[in-house]
Amino acid sequence: MSLIYGEVESELRNTNLSRLTPISPYFSGSAGRVLFYEDFEDEILRGWNYFDDNETGSYYNLTDTIKFSGKRSLHIRSPQVNTTTNAHLDLIKIFPFTIPTGSNPLIGMEVAFTFSRAFVGLGGPQLRFGLSTWDGTNRRDFYMRYNKGSHLWFWGASETESGSQRLEPYEPATNPLARSTGVWHKAKLIVDPFNDKYISFICNGATQSVSGSQSLKESDGSITVAGANIFRCFLRATSGTTVGQEVDVWFDDVVITSE
């Protein structure tokens, strides 16, 4: 189920959505207005667009095998066929509204995610999620990128600001006592898009020192929607450089809020 803010407000009595009011006080301590909610429960992916990939065999689908809540989650697979570059696949959601420039709200993105054991392997497999704005020329990405090999989160304009956190894969290790089975992680990113600043980030109760960091700015002619101040979120899986490695990442319960 994919709901934009007007639809969310009309559906707040729904059992699945009632838990979103207030939005996870565990994270921000504020109610937050729900702008968008996606639990991937529909049998088809509604309103999400394939953005790009650079490797044969990359794909995405809705799966009922591994999910954080409900019946389904979004599965992205990014295989590494050669070592020339890190393979990746991106999905984006462009929202049918703009953020009022006079209000300067803080925007939050909450998401549940997990990954396969292959993600733990060498060669730098990564997952990435975040929010983007577009002013007609430049795209600004407020992203969080996790590298399991180094156990580091990366963010910011230079893509080098980082903080450590050890996250476990979904599946158990060879020794079933070494890791839990069915591990999911919950994260929330809050940004100030109009002043180009990260505000806060928390994952599984652990914070990263993102406050004050700036977005990654890139010239982007790939966004062809008319007008400026376009707002979107994105989800990405990136494999490493180990040939034959297939990286699987799952996302669920994406929530966008005005804080």
Closest CA to 220 of 132, 147, 129, 152: 132
Q: pLDDT digits over 193-252, tens only?
A: 888 899 999 999 999 999 999 998 876 555 444 444 567 888 888 766 556 667 788 999
What count of other Cβ atoms lies within 10 Å of the Cβ of residue 3? 19
Domains of the chain plus CATH, in order, are: 2-258 (2.60.120.260)
Q: pLDDT digits over 12-35, tens only?
A: 444 444 344 333 433 344 456 777
Closest CA to 90 of 36, 123, 128, 119: 128
Q: pLDDT digits over 126-185, tens only?
A: 888 999 887 667 788 899 999 877 889 999 998 889 999 999 888 765 555 555 568 899
Q: Which residue has the higher pLDDT, 62 or 93?
A: 62
Answer whether residue 93 shows pLDDT above 90.
no
Separation of alpha carbons 31 and 26, rounded Å: 11
In sequence order, what are the residues at sequence separation of 6 or more whose Cβ sits closer than 8 angstroms to the Cβ of residue 124? 86, 147, 149, 150, 238, 240, 241
Do the bridges between strand 107-115 and strand 88-94 make them parallel or antiparallel, or are there none, so unpaired? Answer: unpaired
* Spatial contact of 209 and 203, defined as CB atoms under 8 Å apart: no
- What are residue 258's phi and psi, to 5 degrees? -100, 115
- What are residue 10's phi and psi, to 5 degrees? -75, -15
In sequence order, what are the residues at sequence separation of 6 or more whose Cβ sits closer than 8 angstroms to the Cβ of residue 151? 164, 165, 166, 167
With cut-offs at 50, 70 and 90, classify the pLDDT of residue 43. Answer: confident
